[in-house]
């Protein structure tokens, strides 16, 4: 067989892409003639782009092909070319690692028919003050308390429950510590300075639309002076304090008591609660009420049980929830 003196450039390029050396082709006179079947047509010539795609598929190495295959036992989500990424619902911020998702489900439901505020840490920005008072008292009784231990273990509980938890259930000075705590608290915040002005406006606006109540684990002698000094005595119609129920938060007794005192024959699902602690959120949800958690006392992951997490209480928020 006589070989041609030259080789085809195109065949040579393809051979080199495949990692093979170019081989000489047969002379024109030695080629076997192609026999086309009857009724068939010559295939249409491929475009340059089509020839490149075909060449890439042929020259793909086995390892590359294996890498493109889906591994067994794994789930993949294919996206169509040009498809848009799925965006979060309007009004919902994308969740981040370590943060609770701040959803506005409450605002999309039926507007609230009554609103209940927790007192310490929610209406009154006083959790740091309470922490400092308890640390002073517990140090006197030989059981020092750190700020971290207070916010991790005690914040949100009623005053008697805080004392029993830290000093012991059978400690003889439980009532004495509670009384001293109330006296120290009134000395420091009885002027109403712990209630911020945006919160005062929000409470007054809420009182023009629906009944307003306060449910707290604090004692009535420390709640009422602060509310009066802040100018909210006419806006808050019902107060349920620690001495009004046998079980404090996280038990739902306080919220169920407030529901019975509110006028209008309301159902629990008609009431909206504002809380700032994990125990308070648990108490409100156990009573069957909707609950918004206010940031400031605990991190968002500790308030994940709430229906929504908000940064602060103000008039625009109440308009969204009540209108």
pLDDT band at 158 (very low <50, low <70, confident <90, very high): confident
The pTM is what?
0.66
Region 261-280: mean pLDDT is 92
What phi and psi values does residue 310 have, to the nearest 5 degrees? -120, 155
Q: How many angstroms from the chain centroid is the CA of residue 89?
A: 14
What phi and psi values does residue 126 have, to the nearest 5 degrees? -135, 10
**At residue 151, does pLDDT exceed 70?**
yes
Whether the CB-CB separation of 158 and 182 falls below 8 Å is answered with no
User: Under CATH, which architecture does the 127-189 domain have?
Assistant: Orthogonal Bundle (1.10)
Whether the CB-CB separation of 276 and 262 falls below 8 Å is answered with no
* pLDDT of 56: 72
Whether the CB-CB separation of 288 and 269 falls below 8 Å is answered with yes
* pLDDT of 105: 55
> How many other C-beta atoms lie within 10 A of the C-beta of residue 146?
10
The structural domains of the chain, with segments of one domain joined by +, span: 105-124+191-322, 127-189
Residue 281, judged by CB atoms within 10 A of its CB (0-12, 13-18, 19+), counts as buried
Closest C-alpha among 95, 72, 83, 120 to residue 277: 120
* CA–CA gap between residue 284 and residue 216 (Å, rounded): 11
Closest C-alpha among 260, 288, 286 to residue 272: 288
Q: Which CATH number fits domain 105-124+191-322: 3.40.50.1000, 3.30.1490.190, 3.40.50.970, 3.90.1200.10?
A: 3.40.50.1000
- Enter the DSSP assignment of 164: H
**At residue 58, does pLDDT exceed 90?**
no
Region 205-214: mean pLDDT is 97
pLDDT per residue as tens digits for the range 4-19: 554 555 555 555 555 5
Q: Do domains 105-124+191-322 and 127-189 have the same CATH topology?
A: no
Region 197-219: mean pLDDT is 96
Q: Is 212 helix (H, G, I), strand (E, B) or coil?
A: strand
Region 192-202: mean pLDDT is 96
Cα separation values, 74 from 65, 68, 71, 281, Å: 18, 13, 6, 38
């Amino acid at each position: 067989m006589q070989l041609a003196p030259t080789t085809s450039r195109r065949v040579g390029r393809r051979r080199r892409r495949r990692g093979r050396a170019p081989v000489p082709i047969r002379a024109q006179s030695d080629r076997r003639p192609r026999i086309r079947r009857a009724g068939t047509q010559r295939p249409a010539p491929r475009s340059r782009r089509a020839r490149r795609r075909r060449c890439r598929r042929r020259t793909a190495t086995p390892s590359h092909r294996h890498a493109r295959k889906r591994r067994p036992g794994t789930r993949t989500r294919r996206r169509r070319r040009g498809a848009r990424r799925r965006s979060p619902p309007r009004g919902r911020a994308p969740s981040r690692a370590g943060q609770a998702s701040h959803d506005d489900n409450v605002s999309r439901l039926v507007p609230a028919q009554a609103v209940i505020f927790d007192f310490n840490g929610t209406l009154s920005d006083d959790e740091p003050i309470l922490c400092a008072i308890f640390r002073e008292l517990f140090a006197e009784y030989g059981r020092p308390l750190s700020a971290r231990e207070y916010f991790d273990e005690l914040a949100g509980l009623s005053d008697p429950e805080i004392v029993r938890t830290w000093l012991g259930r059978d400690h003889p000075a439980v009532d004495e510590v509670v009384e001293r705590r109330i006296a120290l608290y009134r000395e420091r915040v009885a002027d109403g300075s712990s209630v911020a002005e945006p919160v005062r406006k929000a409470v007054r606006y809420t009182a023009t639309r629906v009944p307003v109540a306060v449910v707290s684990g604090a004692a009535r002698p420390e709640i009422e002076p602060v509310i009066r000094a802040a100018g909210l005595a006419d806006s808050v119609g019902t107060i349920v304090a620690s001495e009004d129920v046998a079980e404090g938060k996280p038990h739902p007794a306080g919220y169920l008591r407030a529901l019975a005192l509110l006028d209008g024959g309301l159902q629990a699902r008609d009431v909206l609660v504002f809380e700032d602690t994990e125990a308070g959120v648990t108490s409100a949800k156990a009573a069957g009420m909707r609950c918004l958690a206010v940031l400031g006392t605990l991190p968002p992951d500790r308030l994940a049980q709430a229906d929504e997490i908000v940064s602060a209480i103000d008039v625009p928020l109440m308009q969204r929830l009540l209108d």
